[in-house]
Each structure stands twice: as C-alpha cells, then as structure tokens.
C-alpha cells in the first residue's frame, strides 16, 4: 500500500510547511501531498480558506497580498511556502500530490510542473494533481493530459466512482469515514486506484488493506514505515 505524507509529515511539524516536507523526505516517504491556493499572482501551499488556524495572520488567504503572506508565521517560525519552494525542496526525490484548493490554480500548476521537470529533475510520472473542484481538475487535464489525476470526494456518490472515470482520473481519492468495499470494487472495475485520507491509525490501515485500498494519506508517515527504516534513522 502506498504511503503519502498528508500536508507533509504534518503530525510531526506544522502542516504544509517546508519543515513538514523535509521531515517527510527524511523519513523516507515516497510521496507527499500538499494543498495549493492562489493569491496575488502566486500559488501558496496552504489548506484553509482563512489564515487564523495555521498562522498568526487574519483573513481569507486569497484576498491577501504577497507581502502580507510572506510576513506570516505558519508555526515554529516557518513561513507559508510557495508551490515552487516546495518543488525545490523535493526536487524529484518523491512523488508530489498537488491538491488544487480552488479556482485559478490549474494554469499555474501546469506551468510550474513543466518548469520543475525542466529545472528540478522531476519526471511527469512523479505528479498527481487532485481536487474536490472537478471543473478546475478538468481544466488542468486539458492543459497537461499526460499527468495523473486524483478525483477527490468526501461522499459516496449515487453512481459510485463514475464521476472519477468521467474525469479521466488515475485515482479515486476518498474519505476514510465513507469508503467501503463496494466503492473500492467499483473504482477498481473502472481501472482506478483508490487512495484514502486521512489515516493515522494502523488499525484503520489494516481495515483499508482488507478491502483493497491502494494507498493512504497520513499525517504520521513514521507509523507506517518499515521498522528497519526507522531504526536506521534513530541510529543516525
Ligand atoms: O488529498 C487528500 C486530502 O488532503 C483531501 O482533504 O481537506 O485534507 O485537503 P483535505
Ligand atoms: Mg489536501
């Protein structure tokens, strides 16, 4: 089962920061998920619509200036990184799952993935672009049809995984609170992988493995790594 660090290693460092990204890499996580939003002509790696929970700032992120966003503390002295800064930190060392958090993200993600392939050593196969905003995901697909798509849902749709197949997705990304055997089977029958968020408990992972889930997004990738890897990290 694939292990994907959710917002970086966000159970161990402030979410969606360069510290969380670097920690996920140090732990040996092969894939990292982040959220991106657009403000003042830049893509910022940040989950919430508003700034209060994760920073010392106030207001809606998309309404802020670059100068203001650059001034904020996103935890432990970390700033809000841009997508390009995260790409530079990873530089092809792991898969990057980029979740489009809303409108005005697809075009810039298309541009930056191309640039990162040219300048940072990423391959096209190392990206998965996902979204709950299916029109924005479809827009991205039209711009970069060769990149894998993750179709996000927090529901069990009446037509099961049909919407993901309609989008031409590579994976159905669904909520641990809703996923069940029928949805996994339906997705597999349509040729889709099934990735589940957010799974921090090994007992949940075992249940998901039993129904055929292909990967999990976790805030605690350390809990799902082979013990040999953790032992070697502890020994330094
Ligand atoms: O991409 C999986 C997961 O990140 C989706 O939900 O709200 O944590 O971005 P959320
Ligand atoms: Mg996300």
The answer to whether the CB of 46 is under 6 A from ligand 1 is no
Which residue ranges form the domains of the chain, and what is each CATH number?
Answer: 2-49+83-227 (3.20.20.190)
Q: What is the pTM of this model?
A: 0.96
The answer to whether the CB of 47 is under 6 A from ligand 1 is yes
**How many Å lie between the centroid of ligand 1 and the Cα of residue 235?**
33
**How many Å lie between the centroid of ligand 2 and the Cα of residue 117?**
22
Q: Are 31 and 97 within 8 A, CB to CB?
A: yes
Report d(CA 22, CA 31) in Å as an integer: 12
Ligand 1 atom having least distance to the Cα of 47:
9
**Nearest-10 crossing angle of helices 134-143, 106-119:** 40
Based on C-alpha coordinates, what's the Rg of the chain? 17
pLDDT of residue 40: 98
pLDDT of residue 102: 82
Q: Can you read off the two tokens belonging to residue 83?
A: 């997508």
pLDDT of residue 179: 97
Q: Are 62 and 33 within 8 A, CB to CB?
A: no
Alpha helices in 27-133 (DSSP H): 66-70, 83-90, 106-119
pLDDT of residue 226: 77
Q: Residue 177 burial (CB < 10 Å; 0-12/13-18/19+)?
A: exposed
**Nearest-10 crossing angle of helices 83-90, 106-119:** 30
Question: Residues 221, 181, 134, 104: what is their CA dihedral angle, to the nearest 10 degrees?
Answer: -10
* pLDDT per residue as tens, the chain (236 positions): 999 999 999 999 999 999 999 999 999 999 999 999 999 999 999 999 999 999 999 999 999 999 999 999 999 999 999 999 999 999 999 999 999 998 899 999 999 999 999 999 999 999 999 999 999 999 999 999 999 999 999 999 999 999 999 999 999 999 999 999 999 999 999 999 999 999 999 999 999 999 999 999 999 999 998 764 555 555 55
Q: Can you read off the two tokens belonging to residue 53?
A: 């929970």
pLDDT of residue 227: 60
Residues 6+ apart with CB under 8 A from 8: 15, 16, 17, 19, 20, 21, 23, 24, 32, 34
pLDDT of residue 189: 98
Ligand 1 atom having least distance to the Cα of 35:
9
């Amino acid at each position: 089962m694939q292990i994907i660090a959710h917002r970086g290693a966000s159970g161990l460092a402030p979410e969606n920061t360069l510290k969380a990204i670097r920690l996920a890499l140090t732990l040996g996580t092969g894939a990292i998920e982040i959220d991106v939003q657009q403000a003042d002509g830049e893509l910022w790696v940040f989950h919430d619509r508003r700034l209060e929970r994760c920073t010392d700032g106030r207001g809606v992120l998309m309404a802020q200036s670059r100068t203001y966003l650059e001034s904020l503390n996103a935890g432990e002295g970390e700033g809000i990184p841009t997508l390009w800064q995260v790409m530079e930190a990873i530089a092809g060392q792991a898969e990057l799952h980029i979740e489009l958090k809303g409108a005005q993200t697809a075009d810039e993600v298309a541009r930056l993935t191309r640039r990162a392939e040219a300048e940072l050593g990423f391959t096209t196969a190392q990206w998965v672009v996902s979204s709950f905003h299916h029109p924005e995901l479809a827009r991205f697909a039209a711009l970069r049809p060769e990149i894998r798509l993750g179709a996000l849902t927090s529901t069990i749709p009446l037509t099961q995984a049909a919407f993901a197949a309609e989008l031409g997705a590579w994976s159905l990304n669904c909520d641990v609170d809703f996923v069940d055997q029928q949805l996994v089977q339906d997705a597999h029958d349509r040729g889709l992988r099934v990735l589940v968020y957010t799974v921090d408990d090994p007992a949940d992972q075992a249940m998901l493995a039993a129904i055929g889930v292909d990967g999990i997004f976790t805030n605690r990738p350390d809990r799902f790594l082979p013990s040999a890897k953790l032992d070697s990290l502890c020994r330094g």
